[in-house]
Structure 1
């Protein structure tokens, strides 16, 4: 046993959340020794097959079409409220679960822009935001004849209040950014940045994909206007799990989203001429809710609520601190650079390391049963999901990277 693995074993024994590890499915073929990609796709819960079976047999198979009248029509708001209470710091009636992240970003960005005055013709976004966010905003700007203002951010960090203050002003119609940067894991000061944007008279739209379920969020306290996030990363909702959208109550009956579907109608079953949005958050729905996709998401949200975000965040910090400790010891002497904030107050749920040739290193890691991911041009992301990642997995990953780099 190496010194690093011995330290990892001691940390695992002392881990207050060590009992949670058994609540997730291990790979049936035993091929994975360390899973460090929960920031892209979380593990399924061990009891999820039974949860899904019960839903299919009892709710779907037995209630059939009656399920819509009895409960399913209310799930977008109901599951949204459960998520808001467990992980978003938001009061009921402001969150829905529906659509994909891309569709939800489009809908809420357009809704935010429906509030603008004609003189506000600029959208502010940073150059290193997740591609979908940037591509969508580029398309929206083209559709509406608006101008994009790009914030030039340090890829090892992210958006800061100081950078935002330099570019927002009387022409700003919307500010969009990620709460946790997808490359570096840098946590933006959402409260302070929201305050800066509001002082300029504009709304904010926060992308929470890399923070929800791993980092404490307080949307109401921060006075956030709009927010979006996915369900398949730290929320463990499964591949393609539905996204969520948050619209502050103060905007709900003024902002108009562009995808006017029957579920968001004030009287959906009248099926009459003309569209009238449903009052409140339900007016931001579009099509038939993805009920089957909400089942694992709802199950995972309940687990997060049970454990609590403070405990989850404490484990996340301990895991990433340990990762950086081992990176300094084993990888830095081999030319590997840290691509994430060293101060863990500014670090989300993953650590990025950088070096030439890391695309090939990632491929070799996968062959050895160690699963991180790679982000161009030269970054391997070590994603730690606090409920399902052990300290031993972190140690295994770092030691394997060291072995590959030294030819061991």
Structure 2
């Protein structure tokens, strides 16, 4: 453990002591989780927030049921994307008037990348290459490939390895690169990239950058404005606990907001949507990134998670996250040493997000056996067991118990039961 406030736990009793001393322990009461479950998948879907069901019921019964269409004004429905956007901006270091909550991460990436390429085409038409990580979340890659194909003007998507990004693009940042799209934390390995240094290297090469914050927003300190980033996207249903499929967000730097050309020019991004003009005129600032009518129930429920994130000290969240992952790594390496388990998450704090990923040739079956015990992580190809560490509702005893369960499953080959090798549609 690296924190001066804590010594390394020697046993479960030490973990219980650390949990009792944890300054974030009261935040667990903000969430509703089954009492017999250790939830280590908040990097994929956050836990249910207290009051989520009641808030959804309020929107359905009172605001929709009684207020009806009046609630677009009286209940603030129309302003929800910007209202929530301000709350997200406080979490990601975006600044006032920089963010809206809307659509999905993939759709927001399409909008942001399209706008960035159009800006670059005006300033540097010879640039036709889009760079992104080979291990970026596949949807990001697919959206970029689809956009390049639709533009049909010689654009191509090139994939780079994480090592190339970390080194500052010494081999790939040429004068043909228009845009770089990067995930802040690698979804498989948990590797964290230095936003300020990487953004500077991209700008020095004459390209623009879009950051995907899906696996970092709500888990660690982010300073988009201070880093000089151009645009960013992300979801609210992981560490921000907005609920399954809750709306995503898009952030654009102040300098670029009114240069942004909306490729999906729907009426919510219009300067005067209720004039019902047949001609599109984009709104000033961040509202132009909206497209169509918003999902009010999802927005209303997502606000609860954002409110929790705005109440916590993100530096304290980050400190506990690193303490939890230090413990997890130490226990895996000391207690599972007799098994072919390999750590793929970086050891260095500066390069580690809020998860620990390990590999094993029977990774899927092992995770299935673990979930059967009420310890929920997830599996990603190839062979990766992912354990998301959400400091607001996880403790040190949870980490201890998880590794002990893994040890039993491996020592006794419990994973080898046929039932643990049957795959569902979602892994």
Shorter-chain TM-score range: over 0.9
Q: What runs of 5+ residues in structure 1 fail to find an aligned partner?
A: none
Deviation at 1:205, TM superposition (A): 0.3
Deviation at 1:163, TM superposition (A): 4.4
Does residue 282 of structure 2 align to residue 273 of structure 1?
Answer: no
Q: Could you tell me which residue of structure 2 aligns to residue 125 of structure 1?
A: 132
Deviation at 1:80, TM superposition (A): 0.2
Q: Could you tell me which residue of structure 2 aligns to residue 114 of structure 1?
A: 118
Correspondence list, 1:83-102, <5 A: 83-85=88-90, 87-102=91-106
Q: Which stretches of structure 1, 4 residues or more, deviate above 4 A after TM superposition?
A: none
1:159 to 165, 190, 193: 165
Check whether the contact 1:209–1:228 (CA below 8 A) recurs between aligned residues. yes
Q: Could you tell me which residue of structure 2 aligns to residue 136 of structure 1?
A: 143
Check whether the contact 1:265–1:283 (CA below 8 A) recurs between aligned residues. yes
Check whether the contact 2:94–2:223 (CA below 8 A) recurs between aligned residues. yes
**Could you say what secondary structure the match of 1:389 adopts?**
coil
**Could you say what secondary structure the match of 1:176 adopts?**
strand
Using the alignment, how far apart are the partners of 2:191 and 2:130 within structure 1? 22
Post-superposition Cα deviations, 1:163-207, rounded to whole Å, max 9, x if no partner, equal: 424312321110001001111111101111111111122210000
Does residue 152 of structure 2 align to residue 148 of structure 1?
Answer: no
Deviation at 1:57, TM superposition (A): 3.7
Post-superposition Cα deviations, 1:101-127, rounded to whole Å, max 9, x if no partner, equal: 111111111111110132111111111
Q: Could you tell me which residue of structure 2 aligns to residue 210 of structure 1?
A: 215
Post-superposition Cα deviations, 1:318-366, rounded to whole Å, max 9, x if no partner, equal: 1111111111211233221111011122111100011111111011111
1:404 to 409, 415, 424: 409
Q: Could you tell me which residue of structure 2 aligns to residue 367 of structure 1?
A: 372
Using the alignment, how far apart are the partners of 2:157 and 2:300 within structure 1? 38
Could you tell which deviates more after superposition, 288-297 or 227-236? 288-297
Q: Could you tell me which residue of structure 2 aligns to residue 180 of structure 1?
A: 185
Post-superposition Cα deviations, 1:113-155, rounded to whole Å, max 9, x if no partner, equal: 110132111111111111001111111121223022221235x
Using the alignment, how far apart are the partners of 2:53 and 2:398 within structure 1? 25
Check whether the contact 1:4–1:326 (CA below 8 A) recurs between aligned residues. no
TM-score, normalised to structure 1, is 0.94
Deviation at 1:22, TM superposition (A): 2.0
Using the alignment, how far apart are the partners of 1:78 and 1:153 within structure 2? 35
Does residue 11 of structure 2 align to residue 7 of structure 1?
Answer: no
Using the alignment, how far apart are the partners of 2:145 and 2:244 within structure 1? 27
Could you tell which deviates more after superposition, 15-24 or 327-336? 327-336
Q: Could you tell me which residue of structure 2 aligns to residue 381 of structure 1?
A: 386
**Could you say what secondary structure the match of 1:62 adopts?**
coil
Using the alignment, how far apart are the partners of 1:137 and 1:291 within structure 2? 29
**Could you say what secondary structure the match of 1:50 adopts?**
helix
Does residue 306 of structure 2 align to residue 297 of structure 1?
Answer: no
Q: What runs of 5+ residues in structure 2 fail to find an aligned partner?
A: 1-8, 415-427
Correspondence list, 1:191-210, <5 A: 191-210=196-215
Q: Could you tell me which residue of structure 2 aligns to residue 46 of structure 1?
A: 50
TM-score, normalised to structure 2, is 0.90
Does residue 392 of structure 2 align to residue 390 of structure 1?
Answer: no
